[in-house]
């Protein structure tokens, strides 16, 4: 390390340091880190540099340390090598125009297929639920006279457990990533983290069957969240023109086979999913924007919007035909809350909405906390698959039990006619009356939300509502995170709508003179508050609810409610999706760099020593490296003047090459010593293998070949973004987020690679905020799968 | 330049070059550029490196070459120097929390004030227009019997010319930047180009008076575009807590005094403006997103949405009270198209809407082309201010003349009662009838749009509509670009609504059996098509129209129409805002890098030789540099080992310092040789002067002081983003757009600064597309003001 004197900027100043002590201190911190750099190879522990703030709070971290072995990053920064440039240059104008047209076509297809899948799921649920609830209603009324309530109870449990068993077995044994709503996973993917198998067709199939099973099985879950995931899978599937699940390559859309393009399509797919689920094309675009975009682009927005609109239109056409009103276009989304055009509000109601928002935030935070504890319990104790299936079945039985108990004990009767359910259940009610609770339970949860929003005043009595809220709150909390495919939108809306209606009942008792206390309005506000308190989405949730209810003028009350819910909830914990992302240890980068991180330098954050390659490198050495390390990117360097070191020697950076590229080169045996047909070596050799490259163990290299060498220069990214070791964490963070980087080589003053920063290095530093105090914490890293 | 052999990556390869000829060619291109680098000082013309594609089309460029002297870039990349780090570190947690609360407060104020200004403008226009049109209507009917039509004609001209004269004199003589809608300027600002004086309070005052004058003066212009501009000014004003116009510093919000923060607020202000203008909070957010964001952020979106909602709510409250229905909240925006909730559509109408979209795209492209020619004419011939005022008055007189002629010649009468105008003009019509054209002309254009959307079928006859469309098309085209403050939303909507209604009249004659040919629906589609064809906005325009009409279910027809309009229009030319931005020579970066630019390297794009400073630099030298050059950023370098060169010597990069920072240091005389009170030297010395720093000529430096030296290290940005000379144009472009950079130093292999890339260097390379062919063109650069 002869250049150590060059590494220190201070040594070159030819004046005495006239700056005050605090500046001198600052530079000495930096100088210290640079001294440290010069002795990197010997002592690797740089923890002495961490400020006390960070180390002090190292112990206060929840479970869910970063799982870096499982989650790799996507490469949004295109590897711009000679092959790519050459290909682009040779194809010319027409190529770009054709690619653009193909892109629009793919977005059209994404919109259509997402909607069609949604239709199939919706119709399946509709038909099966109808059979189930019709017969249950009949069983109840047939057996109630004789007091044999155990018969309907038995069938209820049976009808719940059988589908749930099928669904959760599929999820637990075939494709565990299909569990839950899939929104956290899609969010991770959009943010640049490769969650394994999240956009495979197998996942889509399991998810689709799973969601039908769990909704039909009467779990407190909805089909809307899974729609978003299925849109994402559809997008990834169509745009790549190949399927790993079916081992089929259609040889189309080859130029879209890279992380950057694929992510754009997945963005459109997620939006199309939201659009199909809620009939909310604008909300869909905003969802993709809010959850996904670290970098955004006008043309992508526009294409995403197009996919969303196509999706809601296709769904509308098909569902209208299914419901017997073809061409009527009155079914824009799966969640159909019915038009709420007539409701209006007065200014004095706004504080009331804000209060409801706060309640929603509190309840949401509680819900998240309980669910978090449950999830931790599941991670620790329910590791066996059959335990997960058993748990799902227990919840299914529990749902039936609670429903039956409530119907049985709270004998809430109303005259038939007010009720929108198709099969009114009489139970103990008099003739011409029906049991209100049976009508809530013997429906899909969506239909129940619709009832709560539209039922005329006095349909529900306060006690039934209160009991329902308590049990459904617990049930939905227990359900989210089960090994079944279902979302939490609908159960949250249902809980919220129920207590919102309860609030309006309370208010109209306190202020009987006020006539505008439309219970449906308060049910809507309550639903928004509860959902907002749980998911903490902002503008997209507002727009989704506005679009679902078809009421624009009700925007302000919704926004006020949601802001209050978010702020209240954020005071206690994070949104449920972020909680689950953290629990699974995904190195997701937050929106902003942690605010107090200006004194953390690249030299502290980076991994070192870094494994580098020479521009012309020995094959055996490469094979060894790939086998020994798990790194995904290797800086290509010029060997230093004095060629004494081996792997860790510094060298001037020339480029960056990926593990996947090296493997493809090895597999194709593009060695200097072999005669090559260079016409066949073009960029598509990488596209053919994308996205699942073979492992190094699958590549056969003979011992003779190991003495050969590879010229890496045509393949490496010749201009990787690099930064100096004196960069601060926030500046690196912004670079990562803005450009979607995966590897950021850190160089010293003479452009020699001294370290490497990846997403996980940055994700480790997290803002720690608790009861008004803040600090930076450094997460531990777990390497087990 | 002893390291020339190191500059060439090829020279280090210790194998023979086994790659095929095409790769060797590629590297030789690069090598050539590097050879060129080594002889930079002697021959500066690198035009030999430009590919033939670019040079061939150099001559086909329109007027409006890049005006780099006038437009500077904003610094979105915070200059992270010791002072800033020190300040942030010393302030701690509480500081960040307080700053966050202050930020929300500022967004609240922005929303409120934007809405209040909108209210004042709206009420002024309403009152004055009422007086004007009431008396005109009376003059017409009083004098028509005696045939003395010249009397109302004279008054009409007078009533038009007087306000227009006032407005255009203000604009032409006091603040020319207040002309037009201001949307192009706001768009530039949001994209990082500092358009001089665009967010000053003086501009706001001139704009507000100007817009009242031009709308009252009967010009074919609207008040909506200026609202967006005024929102932006309000945001800039409030967030900075000081005003240059009034020379007043309130000493608040000091920490927001930097380009990055200011731009975020302006983003919110523009959204609040859209929200106030159209009652479209979601549309406002999307507008800011679509026009402004090269980088986006969840919390910014959320705050922007908050400002938008506050804005429409405030406006609603005030205007409802003004219209005598306080608390009713039925005036969400200035443009009030009235609820169109009842309209619906059939699937077979979608192709029809698409066709209307295409017509809109064609007409819009024609409009843009004519307006472009007119604008070029204005730039070349109407340079004198009084000529601009005269032109405005001529257009005002012309508007009156056309209106009178149409009323006079097309005697279109309808029975009174159908008409929504307050003062029906009888003219030659029989008793109990009114002149339809008079009712269109004797209203503000907005009211006319509303009439066209809501008037029952058969209100307007085809000939009147056709004549109106032709003349209004020409009139609005002539009006946009006058020296008056007015926007083009309303005139475009009006033209489109008129021909949309015409289409429905035609359709109902061809297919008399179809009953759903609601003329209001076609008027709306026509309006959207025409506006979309002119401005080429995408998702934001769709949402704005959806929100303005209060009809969500009509989203699909609108989107289909707008997509068709945009694609058709884009085939011929650019949107009107982009055309005007280009005409004024603003170096605006497009969304994507030009697609065929992969063979353009940093070494060709960069400016060189680059002027650098040493870390401890002589005061006299700095003063000389600042006086001699116009550069705004200077790399700070270590002097090279052999200290032979002067200004252009290469040196290892240590940091980057801005002209503004140097001036502040000089002004404060922070010299090494003077005793300094370091406690007073902190980051706020830069914030105090922001955004208008003194020029170097305003700083007094004595001859003795010129022998002193400055230690630049505490003040410089210690970690500027730099890239290697082998970066391609698209990669630099992405870095610039994603991070909002202003200066990008280009370094060679040993980290020595060899050039500098700024926004204008990148903006020069533009995609050139004409009749299906494409290429890269390089714009000429004009340096005159």
Residue B619 at interface with chain A, using a CB cutoff of 8 Å: no
Query: Treating both helix axes as pointing N-terminal to C-terminal, what angle do B150-169 and B201-216 enclose, rounded to 10 degrees?
Result: 170
Please tell me the distance in Å from B603's CA to the nearest CA on chain A: 13
Q: Which residue has the tokens 């009331």?
A: A352
> Residue A403 region, left (φ>0) first, then alpha (ψ -120 to 50), else beta?
alpha
Measure Cα distances from A165 to A177, A225, A388, A393, B451 in Å. 17, 20, 10, 6, 61
Q: Is B448 helix (H, G, I), strand (E, B) or coil?
A: helix
Please tell me the distance in Å from B570's CA to the nearest CA on chain A: 13
Q: What is the pLDDT of residue B10?
A: 37
Set of chain B residues whose Cβ sits within 8 Å of the Cβ of A543? 282
Q: Which of A92-101, A569-578, A599-608, B95-104 has the highest mean pLDDT?
A: A569-578
Measure Cα distances from B123 to A205, B115, B130, B231, B271 in Å. 59, 12, 10, 17, 21
pLDDT tens readout for residues B401-457:
998 888 888 777 777 765 556 667 777 777 777 887 887 888 888 888 888 888 777
Q: Which of A302, A747, A774 is nearest residue B539 as measured by Cβ atoms?
A: A302
Q: What is the pLDDT of residue A205?
A: 93
Judge whether residue A183 has pLDDT over 80. Answer: yes
Residue B105 at interface with chain A, using a CB cutoff of 8 Å: no
Report the mean per-residue pLDDT for chain B: 80
Q: Which of B18, B301, B676 is nearest residue A711 as measured by Cβ atoms?
A: B18
Tokens of A670: 């593009």
Q: Which of A27, A85, A313 is nearest residue B599 as measured by Cβ atoms?
A: A85
Q: What is the pLDDT of residue A469?
A: 93
Q: Is B111 helix (H, G, I), strand (E, B) or coil?
A: helix
Query: Treating both helix axes as pointing N-terminal to C-terminal, what angle do A539-549 and B281-292 enclose, rounded to 10 degrees?
Result: 130
Confidence at B44, pLDDT banded by 50, 70, 90: very low
Percent share of chain B, pLDDT over 70: 84
Residues B390, B499: Cα–Cα separation, whole Å: 31
Q: Which residues pair with A723 in a beta bridge?
A: A746
- A618 or A538, higher pLDDT: A618
Please tell me the distance in Å from B271's CA to the nearest CA on chain A: 14
Q: What is the pLDDT of residue A780?
A: 56
pLDDT tens readout for residues B650-663:
788 888 999 888 99
Tokens of B709: 């030296």
Tokens of A48: 């002495």
Nearest CA in chain B to A708: B15
Question: ω into residue A609 within 30 of 0, thus cis?
Answer: yes
Cβ–Cβ under 8 Å, residues B663 and B696: yes
By DSSP bridging, strand A616-618 and strand B193-194 are unpaired
Q: Which of B14, B591, B654 is nearest residue A297 as measured by Cβ atoms?
A: B591
Confidence at A516, pLDDT banded by 50, 70, 90: low
Q: Which CATH architecture has domain B349-583?
A: Orthogonal Bundle (1.10)
Give the burial class of A515: count Cβ atoms within 10 A of its Cβ; 0-12 exposed, 13-18 middle, 19 or more buried.
exposed
pLDDT tens readout for residues A251-261:
777 778 888 88
Q: Is A551 helix (H, G, I), strand (E, B) or coil?
A: coil
Residues B7, B12: Cα–Cα separation, whole Å: 10
ipTM field: 0.83
Nearest CA in chain B to A83: B23
Set of chain B residues whose Cβ sits within 8 Å of the Cβ of A616? 13-15
Measure Cα distances from B560 to A327, A348, B354, B563, B724 in Å. 17, 40, 6, 5, 45
Alpha-carbon dihedral sign for residues A436, A437, A438, A444: positive
Confidence at B775, pLDDT banded by 50, 70, 90: low
Residue A29 at interface with chain B, using a CB cutoff of 8 Å: no
Domain boundaries, chain B: 20-49+592-782, 125-322, 349-583
pTM, entire model: 0.85
* Ramachandran angles phi, psi of A617, nearest 5°: -125, 150
Set of chain B residues whose Cβ sits within 8 Å of the Cβ of A592? 297, 299
Residues B241, B257: Cα–Cα separation, whole Å: 9
Q: Which of A191, A305, A740 is the best residue to mutate to test the B interface, defined by the most B CB atoms within 10 Å of its own CB? A: A305
Q: Which CATH architecture has domain A28-74+592-782?
A: Roll (3.10)
User: Lowest-pLDDT range, A514-518, B126-130, B275-279, B539-543?
Assistant: A514-518
**Does domain B125-322 fall into CATH 1.10.3080.10?**
yes
By DSSP bridging, strand A633-638 and strand A613-614 are parallel
DSSP labels, A263-283: HHHHHHHHHHHHHHHHS-HHH
Residue B739 at interface with chain A, using a CB cutoff of 8 Å: yes
Tokens of B164: 């227009």
Contact assignment for A591 to B298 by CB distance below 8 Å: yes
Confidence at A766, pLDDT banded by 50, 70, 90: low
By DSSP bridging, strand A773-778 and strand A765-770 are antiparallel
Q: Which of B84, B731, B773, B774 is the best residue to mutate to test the A interface, defined by the most A CB atoms within 10 Å of its own CB? A: B731
Fold agreement between B125-322 and B349-583: yes
Distance of CA B680 to the CA centre of its chain: 39
Q: Which CATH architecture has domain B20-49+592-782?
A: Roll (3.10)
- A605 or A597, higher pLDDT: A605
Which residues neighbour B600 within 8 Å (Cβ) at sequence distance 6 or greater? Answer: B51, B728, B729, B765, B776
Q: Measuring CA to CA, which residue among A764, A756, A740 is closest to residue A659?
A: A756
Mean pLDDT of B561-582: 91
Report the mean per-residue pLDDT for chain A: 80
* Ramachandran angles phi, psi of B601, nearest 5°: -105, 160
- Quickly count: other Cβ atoms within 10 Å of residue B55's Cβ: 13
A residues 241-270 near B, CB within 8 Å?
A: none
Q: Which residues pair with B776 in a beta bridge?
A: B767
Nearest CA in chain A to B285: A539
Size of interface A-B (CB pairs under 8 A): 268
Nearest CA in chain B to A281: B555
Contact assignment for B80 to A327 by CB distance below 8 Å: no
Question: Which is the CATH superfamily of the domain at A99-322?
Answer: Clc chloride channel (1.10.3080.10)
Q: What is the pLDDT of residue B641?
A: 55
Distance of CA B668 to the CA centre of its chain: 36
DSSP labels, B147-209: T-THHHHHHHHHHHHHHHHHHHHIIIII-GGGSS-SHHHHHHHHTTEE-TTTT-HHHHHHHHH
Measure Cα distances from B670 to B627, B639, B710 in Å. 19, 22, 7
* Ramachandran angles phi, psi of A656, nearest 5°: -140, 135
pLDDT tens readout for residues A194-212:
888 888 889 999 999 999 9
Q: Is B740 helix (H, G, I), strand (E, B) or coil?
A: coil
User: Lowest-pLDDT range, A54-63, A367-376, B303-312, B525-534?
Assistant: A54-63
Distance of CA B24 to the CA centre of its chain: 45
Residue A36 at interface with chain B, using a CB cutoff of 8 Å: no
B residues 285-344 near A, CB within 8 Å?
A: 285-286, 289-290, 293, 295-299, 301-302, 305-306, 309, 312-313, 317, 327, 329, 332, 341, 344
Q: Which of B103-107, B668-672, B697-701 has the highest mean pLDDT?
A: B103-107
Residues A471, A476: Cα–Cα separation, whole Å: 9
User: Lowest-pLDDT range, A143-152, A558-567, A719-728, B470-479?
Assistant: A143-152
Residue A381 at interface with chain B, using a CB cutoff of 8 Å: no
Which residues neighbour A147 within 8 Å (Cβ) at sequence distance 6 or greater? Answer: none
pLDDT tens readout for residues B375-402:
999 988 888 899 999 999 999 999 999 9
Q: Which of A312, A552, A751 is nearest residue B750 as measured by Cβ atoms?
A: A751
Measure Cα distances from A284 to A273, A310, A493, A533, B288 in Å. 7, 12, 18, 20, 18
pLDDT tens readout for residues B317-362:
899 889 887 766 677 788 877 776 567 777 788 899 999 999 999 9
Residue B726 at interface with chain A, using a CB cutoff of 8 Å: yes
Mean pLDDT of B742-750: 88
Q: Which residue has the tokens 């061409």?
A: A327
Residues A477, A167: Cα–Cα separation, whole Å: 19
Set of chain B residues whose Cβ sits within 8 Å of the Cβ of A15? 616, 672, 709, 711
Please tell me the distance in Å from B373's CA to the nearest CA on chain A: 28
Contact assignment for B285 to A327 by CB distance below 8 Å: no
Q: b/e string for B457-470 if b means 16 or more Cβ within 10 A? A: eebbeeebbebbbe
Helix (H) / strand (E) containing A38: helix A21-38
Q: Is A723 helix (H, G, I), strand (E, B) or coil?
A: strand
Judge whether residue A411 has pLDDT over 80. Answer: no
Please tell me the distance in Å from A221's CA to the nearest CA on chain B: 27
Residues B346, A327: Cα–Cα separation, whole Å: 6
Distance of CA A693 to the CA centre of its chain: 24
* Helix, strand, coil percentages for chain A (3-state, nearest 5): 55, 10, 35
Q: Which of A15, A678, A750 is nearest residue B709 as measured by Cβ atoms?
A: A15
A residues 638-697 near B, CB within 8 Å?
A: 638-639, 652, 654, 672, 676, 678-679
Question: ω into residue B691 within 30 of 0, thus cis?
Answer: yes
Q: What is the pLDDT of residue A59?
A: 33
pLDDT tens readout for residues B585-632:
888 887 778 777 777 888 888 887 888 888 888 999 999 989 888 888
Q: What is the pLDDT of residue B499?
A: 94
Residues B300, A538: Cα–Cα separation, whole Å: 11
* Ramachandran angles phi, psi of B473, nearest 5°: -55, -50
Residue B555 at interface with chain A, using a CB cutoff of 8 Å: yes
Cβ–Cβ under 8 Å, residues B570 and B362: no
Nearest CA in chain A to B708: A15
Residue B553 at interface with chain A, using a CB cutoff of 8 Å: yes
Residues A173, A206: Cα–Cα separation, whole Å: 10
Nearest CA in chain B to A724: B719
Residues B263, B252: Cα–Cα separation, whole Å: 17
Cβ–Cβ under 8 Å, residues B626 and B689: no
Radius of gyration of chain B (CA): 29
Set of chain B residues whose Cβ sits within 8 Å of the Cβ of A80? 598, 728, 730-731
Nearest CA in chain B to A674: B18
Tokens of A142: 């047939």
**CATH number for region A347-583:** 1.10.3080.10
Judge whether residue B689 has pLDDT over 70. Answer: yes
Q: Which of A89, A313, A735 is nearest residue B599 as measured by Cβ atoms?
A: A89
DSSP labels, A55-84: HHTGGGPPS--EETTT-EEP--S----HHH
Contact assignment for B638 to A9 by CB distance below 8 Å: yes
Residues A426, A415: Cα–Cα separation, whole Å: 10
């Amino acid at each position: 390390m002869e250049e150590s004197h060059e590494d220190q900027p201070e040594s070159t100043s030819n004046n005495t340091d006239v700056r005050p002590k605090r500046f001198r201190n600052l530079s000495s911190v930096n100088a210290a880190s640079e001294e440290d750099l010069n002795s990197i190879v010997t002592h690797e522990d740089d923890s002495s540099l961490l400020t006390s703030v960070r180390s002090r709070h190292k112990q206060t971290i929840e479970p869910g340390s970063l799982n870096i072995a499982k989650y790799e990053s996507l490469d949004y920064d295109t590897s711009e090598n000679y092959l790519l440039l050459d290909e682009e240059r040779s194809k010319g104008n027409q190529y770009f125009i054709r690619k653009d047209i193909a892109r629009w076509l793919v977005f059209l297809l994404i919109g259509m297929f997402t909607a069609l899948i949604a239709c199939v799921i919706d119709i399946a649920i509709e038909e099966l639920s109808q059979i189930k609830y019709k017969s249950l209603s009949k069983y109840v009324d047939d057996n109630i006279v004789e007091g044999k309530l155990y018969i309907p109870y038995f069938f209820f449990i049976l009808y719940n457990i059988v589908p749930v068993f099928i669904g959760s077995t599929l999820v637990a044994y075939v494709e565990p990533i299909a569990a839950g709503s899939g929104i956290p996973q899609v969010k991770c993917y959009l943010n640049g983290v490769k969650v394994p198998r999240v956009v495979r067709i197998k996942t889509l199939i399991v998810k689709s069957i799973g969601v039908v099973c769990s909704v039909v099985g009467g779990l407190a879950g909805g089909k809307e969240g899974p729609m978003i995931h299925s849109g994402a899978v559809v997008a990834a599937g169509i745009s790549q023109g190949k399927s790993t699940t079916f081992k089929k390559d259609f040889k189309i859309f080859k130029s879209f086979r890279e992380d950057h393009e694929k992510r754009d399509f997945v963005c459109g797919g997620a939006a199309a999913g939201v659009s199909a689920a809620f009939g909310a094309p604008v909300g869909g675009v905003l969802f993709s924007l809010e959850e996904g975009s670290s970098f955004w682009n006008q043309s992508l927005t526009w294409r995403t919007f197009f996919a969303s609109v196509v999706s809601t239109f296709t769904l509308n056409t098909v569902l209208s035909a299914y419901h017997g009103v073809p061409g009527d276009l009155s079914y824009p989304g799966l969640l159909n809350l019915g038009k709420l055009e007539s409701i209006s509000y007065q200014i004095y109601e706004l504080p009331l909405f804000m209060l409801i928002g706060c309640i929603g935030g509190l309840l949401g935070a509680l819900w998240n906390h309980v669910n978090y504890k449950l999830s931790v319990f599941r991670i620790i104790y329910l590791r066996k698959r059959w335990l997960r299936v058993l748990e799902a079945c227990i919840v299914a039985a529990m749902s039936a039990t609670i429903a039956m108990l409530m119907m049985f004990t709270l004998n809430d009767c109303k005259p038939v006619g007010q009720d929108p359910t198709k099969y009114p259940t009489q139970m103990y009610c008099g003739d011409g009356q029906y049991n209100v609770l049976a009508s809530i339970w013997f429906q899909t949860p969506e239909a129940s939300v619709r009832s709560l929003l539209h039922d005329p005043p006095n349909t529900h009595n306060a006690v039934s509502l209160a009991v329902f809220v308590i049990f459904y709150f617990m049930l939905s909390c227990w359900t989210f995170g089960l090994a079944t495919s279902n979302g939490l939108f609908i159960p949250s809306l249902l809980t919220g709508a129920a207590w919102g209606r309860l609030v309006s009942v309370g208010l109209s008792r306190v202020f009987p003179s006020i006539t505008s206390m439309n219970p449906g309005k308060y049910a809507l506000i309550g639903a928004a508050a509860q959902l907002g308190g749980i998911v903490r989405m902002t503008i997209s949730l507002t727009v989704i609810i506005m679009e679902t209810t078809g009421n624009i003028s009700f925007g302000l009350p919704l926004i006020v409610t949601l802001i209050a819910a978010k702020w209240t909830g954020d005071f206690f914990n994070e949104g449920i999706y972020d909680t689950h992302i953290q629990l699974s240890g995904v190195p997701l980068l937050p929106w902003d760099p942690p605010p107090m991180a200006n004194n953390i330098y690249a030299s502290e954050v980076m991994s070192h020593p870094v494994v580098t390659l020479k521009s012309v490198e020995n094959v055996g050495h490469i094979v060894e490296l790939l086998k020994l390390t798990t790194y995904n990117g290797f800086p290509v360097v010029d060997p230093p003047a004095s060629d004494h070191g081996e792997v860790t020697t510094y060298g001037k950076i020339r480029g960056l090459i990926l593990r996947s590229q090296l493997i493809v080169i090895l597999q194709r045996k593009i060695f200097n010593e072999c005669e090559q047909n260079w016409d066949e070596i073009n960029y598509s050799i990488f596209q053919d293998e994308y996205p699942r490259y073979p492992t190094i163990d699958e590549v056969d290299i003979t011992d003779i070949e190991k003495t050969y060498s590879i010229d890496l220069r045509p393949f490496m990214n010749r201009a990787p973004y690099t930064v100096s070791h004196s960069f601060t964490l926030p500046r690196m963070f912004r670079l990562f987020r803005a450009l979607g980087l995966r590897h950021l080589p850190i160089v010293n003053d003479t452009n020699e690679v001294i370290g490497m920063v990846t997403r996980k290095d940055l994700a480790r530093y997290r803002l720690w905020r608790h009861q008004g105090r803040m600090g930076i914490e450094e997460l531990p890293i777990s390497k087990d799968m």
